[in-house]
């Protein structure tokens, strides 16, 4: 089976990518020490990798979904900002996001431009795109239904 990648300019890509950020924002509300990994849209939805002191469980889903819908209904604007590697690393280190600092180093070594997206109090290293405002996300278009374990960058050497 050949899977076609989502078009980054499509509406579904922007919705799912924005939902991944909204999920991260909701998780940080209940787990402020969570370290963020990657959070992309995928063929059948979206996900976000978190490093947590205690794992999430399916019992957390209703609260997270409620928080996500509150964030969506609050009408947060997604704002893009270009940031140099030094400033981005400093911001991320200050907020305890060591995985993101590593991502910045990798991207900077490749000569990639660095951008962050901010919505409300949440911000993240991200190339986008997103919806313009969280109110563009239908509140009934998602459900959290799966948890999975992962190694940082897919390597079991990273624990």
pLDDT for 102-146, tens place per residue? 999 999 999 888 999 999 999 999 999 999 999 999 989 999 998
> Which CATH topology does 11-151 take?
3.30.980
∠ Cα 111 125 72 (to 5°): 150
Rg of the chain in Å (alpha carbons) = 15
Report field, pTM of the whole predicted structure over 0.75: yes
pLDDT of 1 reads: 40
Q: Where are the domains of the chain?
A: 11-151
pLDDT of 146 reads: 86
Position 158 confidence tier, pLDDT thresholds 50, 70, 90: low
pLDDT of 36 reads: 95
At residue 151, does pLDDT exceed 70?
no
């Amino acid at each position: 089976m050949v899977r076609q990648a989502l078009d980054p300019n499509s509406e579904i890509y922007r919705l799912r990518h924005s939902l991944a950020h909204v999920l991260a924002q909701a998780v940080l509300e209940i787990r402020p020490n969570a370290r963020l990994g990657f959070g992309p849209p995928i063929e059948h939805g979206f996900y976000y990798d978190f490093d947590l002191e205690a794992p999430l469980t399916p019992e957390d889903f209703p609260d997270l979904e409620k928080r996500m819908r509150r964030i969506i209904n609050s009408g947060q604007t997604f704002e893009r900002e270009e940031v140099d590697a030094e400033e981005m690393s400093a911001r991320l280190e200050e907020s305890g996001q060591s995985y993101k600092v590593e991502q910045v180093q990798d991207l900077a070594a490749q000569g990639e431009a660095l951008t962050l997206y901010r919505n409300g109090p949440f911000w993240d290293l991200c190339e986008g795109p997103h919806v313009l405002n969280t109110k563009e996300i239908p509140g009934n278009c998602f459900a959290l239904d799966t948890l999975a374990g992962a190694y940082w960058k897919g390597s079991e050497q990273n624990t």
